[in-house]
């Protein structure tokens, strides 16, 4: 039987040749943990992922320490990490104060976020998501003045508990608003864990067609076991940038049951097996994820940490023969 080469598999499935992964565990993962990691622990994990080959790492967030105490030491983490050439270290901000904090500690890339849910935004902020983005203009001006790059994110773009399905026209309104304030790098996020592959493919295809000038990212949670399938659907639509979280930690604190970002090591393993290049050393990434599990002291939603790589199952027997189950049991 002829075995199909991994590169041929990617081509036959209409996958992309290579992807760029961002490790979001230090922010989106750890902000959902009760345990607050020290600066030293975070630096160890971030440096480890940089050494594994991650080109983009989300270090933390510059938000209210009262609202998210797990991220209160982000400024100190930025000052302590051993920055590797070619690695983009980014963080989430909520307002102008976040830009000021980023500038003070040497952060060169920040990200804004808005919910795609009109109902949620109107109830909490008394304005539409697009109007919220229009209010980000001051942040964009301040970031530009401090030579800080800026991107945007649209959470729950694939569905929300308040609206169920989000009309694609609503998502486009937010994209238009981001472009109006000068942001052309945008992430579509499945914070509620409601996305499914055919939906992802349709939305991504439409967005790529309508906004060829946008540099797109996709952020999926594995809440209902569809995280990797959604990433593959995104690749089939031509998207090449994806967020992952070490050991699969994280979730959305505002959505019941929406725990679990897609695990970094699971995604790298899938890409390796399918012949899609990531530029990341899977063994080194797994070592960092194992270290995190040790720090947290509890199991996480990572298939690779439980089962190991597929290649780990292959063992050459001394006789060069495969023993049957009866012989193995003996």
SS (H, E, C) 263-325: EHHHHHHHHHHHCCECCCCHHHHHHHHHHHHHHHCCCCCCHHHHHCCHHHHCCCCCCCCCCCH
CA dihedral sign of residues 165, 167, 172, 175: negative
How high is the pLDDT of residue 1?
Answer: 38
How high is the pLDDT of residue 319?
Answer: 56
CA-nearest of 38, 64, 29, 187 to 115 is 187
Say if 11 falls within a structural domain.
no
Say if 10 falls within a structural domain.
no
Say if 315 falls within a structural domain.
yes
Q: How many CB atoms lie within 10 A of CB 273?
A: 13
How high is the pLDDT of residue 89?
Answer: 98
CATH number of domain containing 63: 3.20.20.70
Say if 124 falls within a structural domain.
yes
Q: Which of 139, 204, 252, 271 is catalytic?
A: 252
Domain that holds residue 155: 17-329
Kindly give the interhelix angle for 197-210 and 227-236, rounded to the nearest 10 degrees: 40
CA-nearest of 173, 101, 111, 115 to 140 is 111
How high is the pLDDT of residue 328?
Answer: 46
CA-nearest of 263, 250, 220 to 33 is 250
How high is the pLDDT of residue 24?
Answer: 98
Report d(CA 158, CA 86) in Å as an integer. 32
Say if 188 falls within a structural domain.
yes
How high is the pLDDT of residue 23?
Answer: 98
Q: How many domains does the chain have?
A: 1
How high is the pLDDT of residue 316?
Answer: 55
Tens-digit pLDDT string for the chain (330 aa): 345 566 665 666 789 999 999 999 999 999 999 999 999 999 999 999 999 999 999 999 999 999 999 999 999 999 999 999 999 999 999 999 999 999 999 999 999 999 999 988 887 788 999 999 999 999 999 999 999 999 999 999 999 888 878 999 999 999 999 999 999 999 999 988 999 999 999 999 999 999 999 999 999 999 999 999 999 999 999 999 999 999 999 976 666 666 679 999 999 999 999 999 999 999 999 999 999 999 999 999 999 999 999 998 876 555 555 555 545 444
Catalytic site includes residue 105: no
Torsion of CA 290, 291, 296, 299, to 10 degrees: 10
Say if 77 falls within a structural domain.
yes
pTM for this entry? 0.91
Say if 4 falls within a structural domain.
no
Say if 3 falls within a structural domain.
no
């Amino acid at each position: 039987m002829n075995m199909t080469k991994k590169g041929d598999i990617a081509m036959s499935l209409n996958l992309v040749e290579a992807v760029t992964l961002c490790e979001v565990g230090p922010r989106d993962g750890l902000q959902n943990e009760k345990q607050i990691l020290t600066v030293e622990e975070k630096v160890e994990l971030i440096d480890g992922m940089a050494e594994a080959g991650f080109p983009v790492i989300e270090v933390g967030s510059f938000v209210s320490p009262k609202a998210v105490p797990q991220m209160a030491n982000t400024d100190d983490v930025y000052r302590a990490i051993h920055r590797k050439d070619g690695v983009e270290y980014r963080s989430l901000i909520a307002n102008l104060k976040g830009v000021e904090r980023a500038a003070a500690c040497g952060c060169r890339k920040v990200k804004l976020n808005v919910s795609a849910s009109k109902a949620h935004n109107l109830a909490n902020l008394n304005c539409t998501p697009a109007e919220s983005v229009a209010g980000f203009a001051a942040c964009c001006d301040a970031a530009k003045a401090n030579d800080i790059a800026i991107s945007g994110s649209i959470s729950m773009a694939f569905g929300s508990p308040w609206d169920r399905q989000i009309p694609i026209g609503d998502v486009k309104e937010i994209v238009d608003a981001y472009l109006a304030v000068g942001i052309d790098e945008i992430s579509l996020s499945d914070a509620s864990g409601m996305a499914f592959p055919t939906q992802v493919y349709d939305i991504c295809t439409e967005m790529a067609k309508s906004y060829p000038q946008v540099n797109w990212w996709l952020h999926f949670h594995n809440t209902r076991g569809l995280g990797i399938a959604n990433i593959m659907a995104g690749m089939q639509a031509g998207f090449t940038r994806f967020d992952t979280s070490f050991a699969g930690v994280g979730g959305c604190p505002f959505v019941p049951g929406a725990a679990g970002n897609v695990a970094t090591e699971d995604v790298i393993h899938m890409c390796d097996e399918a012949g899609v290049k990531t530029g990341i050393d899977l063994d080194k990434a797994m070592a960092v994820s194992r270290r995190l599990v040790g720090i947290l002291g509890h199991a996480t939603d990572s298939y690779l940490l439980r089962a190991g790589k597929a290649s780990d199952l292959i063992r050459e027997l001394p006789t060069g023969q495969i023993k049957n189950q009866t012989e193995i049991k003996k």
